[in-house]
Amino acid sequence: MTALQEQDNDVYALIEKEAKRQKTMLNMIASENISSRAVREATSSVLSHKYSEGYPGKRYYQGNEFIDQVEQLAIDRAKQLFGAEHANVQPISGSPANFSIFLALLEPGDTFLGMDLACGGHLTHGSPVNFSGKLYKPHHYGVDQNGFIDMEEVRKIAVAVKPKLIISGHSAYARTVDFEKFSEIAQEVGAIHLADISHISGLIAAGIHPSPFPHTDVVMTTTHKTLRGPRGAIILCKEAHAQAIDKAIFPGSQGGPHNNLIAAKAVAFQEAMTPEFKQYAAQVVKNAQMLAQTLMDHGIPVVTGGTDNHLLLVDLQGLVGPGKGAETAKLLEQAGIICNANSVPYDPAPPYKPSGLRLGTPMLTSQGFMEEDIQTVAVLIASVIKNPETVKEVRASVDQLCARIIS
């Protein structure tokens, strides 16, 4: 019996149920992944007991000899992994990290440019319901009719609105991001370039997607998506912005660092430097490309006609109708396939009732799925979309596939 099971069976039983769910359903949320046992051990370690406001060597509390070493290790590994001049490993998650970056580099009311949420951007890139849209003045670029970012269009908007900050990096964009071009445009208009690589940082670390370094001023990534670390985020930047970024994290927007998670980030960064991780990241992309191709072969339209990374967007408008993303996602859940409804470019339906699905391969790849398994998954997804009455049959096939999941 574990201590938790003995002491609090309510919580223990729910964790066990969730663990079972993760192994008996096909989890295809593009932002989710499975971290290693080593990462999870560090996450649940005694390091969470310690208060250590400040930075290595400059703490407001005594007793931080080993915490300092843990944080320095995480900083050194983050810098090495991404080739960055400076790293702050304290951000609690992606949204607060973006908040801190805005706090460091902008004044309230300042103009910035980011991707439209409806085209694949994130809430923190200027949504009116988010701090970024409430406290600052956002302008947006989108995608062309085929779903691709048009860099000439980005440049035109940047020249017209003269933003102080330009954000590249997105939540639902399946194609290679031209970080170099974003930096060039930022330089032309005198803006700072922030690359939010939350989704693709694992692919960048593995050399599968071009890096935003050395051209980009500031880079933010969550650590729990393709990077396969614990929940959290890091900010990487050029030395010129280091002091402002560090001050904006502490004392600007956070208190005591989550030392257990910083240790777990260090573990994940070391894992990401291994040949096995490079192989994993390459497989994630191969799997996503197989998913896209097989869906299209079965008559399911994929935005941009494929993917260069770990995710893709299915456009349901022609097959199921506009605004049917959530309904279809629920149907897929009945079949044991978990994904999320998502807007598609130029979606006629509102964001709360979008017309597409976002599907990703990071978690299934961590669970040992290869292209031939993904091909089977794609056929099952196509069956549910085209023939909802096959849900029960598909669920039975999903059960068989899940029996192969490695933990």
Chain positions contacting ligand PLP, by CB under 6 A: 31, 93-95, 98, 122, 124, 169-171, 196, 198-199, 222
- Going from the C-alpha of 329 to that of each of 131, 153, 211, 309, 314, the distances in angstroms are 29, 33, 33, 21, 11
CB of 209 to ligand PLP, least distance (A): 14
Catalytic residue among 51, 333, 376, 390: 51
Beta carbon nearer to ligand PLP, 149 or 384: 149
- 24: annotated active-site residue: no
Beta carbon nearer to ligand PLP, 54 or 114: 114
**395, HSE (Cβ side, Cα atoms, 13 Å):** 11
Catalytic residue among 12, 23, 53, 178: 53
- 315: annotated active-site residue: no
Catalytic residue among 71, 196, 246, 271: 196
- Going from the C-alpha of 149 to that of each of 25, 66, 158, 180, 214, the distances in angstroms are 33, 46, 14, 14, 22
Q: What is the largest CA-CA distance in the chain?
A: 64
Beta carbon nearer to ligand PLP, 222 or 355: 222
Measured between its terminal Cα atoms, the distance across the chain in Å is: 20
- Main-chain phi, psi angles of 155, to 5 degrees: -60, -45
Contact (Cβ atoms closer than 8 angstroms) between residue 236 and residue 203: no
- 51: annotated active-site residue: yes
Catalytic residue among 222, 223, 307, 365: 222
Contact (Cβ atoms closer than 8 angstroms) between residue 311 and residue 359: yes
Helix (H, G, I), strand (E, B) or coil at 64: coil
Which strands form 356-360's sheet, in the order they lie side by side?
Answer: 311-315, 356-360, 340-342
Residue 225: both structure tokens together: 């998506």
Identity (one letter) of the amino acid at 326? Answer: A
Contact (Cβ atoms closer than 8 angstroms) between residue 351 and residue 323: no
Tell me the C-alpha distance between 179 and 379, whole Å.
34
- 40: annotated active-site residue: no
- 222: annotated active-site residue: yes
CB of 101 to ligand PLP, least distance (A): 11
Catalytic residue among 50, 79, 231, 353: 231
Tell me the C-alpha distance between 241 and 77, whole Å.
19
CB of 4 to ligand PLP, least distance (A): 25
Catalytic residue among 225, 228, 265, 324: 225
> Which residue is closest to ligand PLP by CB?
94
Beta carbon nearer to ligand PLP, 200 or 332: 200
Beta carbon nearer to ligand PLP, 123 or 401: 123
- 196: annotated active-site residue: yes
CB of 55 to ligand PLP, least distance (A): 22
Tell whether omega for the bond before 351 is within 30 degrees of 0, i.e. cis: no
Beta carbon nearer to ligand PLP, 163 or 232: 232
Beta carbon nearer to ligand PLP, 212 or 336: 212
CB of 224 to ligand PLP, least distance (A): 7
Which strands form 218-222's sheet, in the order they lie side by side?
Answer: 86-88, 233-237, 218-222, 192-196, 165-168, 111-115, 137-141
CB of 227 to ligand PLP, least distance (A): 12
CB of 196 to ligand PLP, least distance (A): 5
Give the residue numbers marked as catalytic.
51, 53, 196, 222, 225, 231
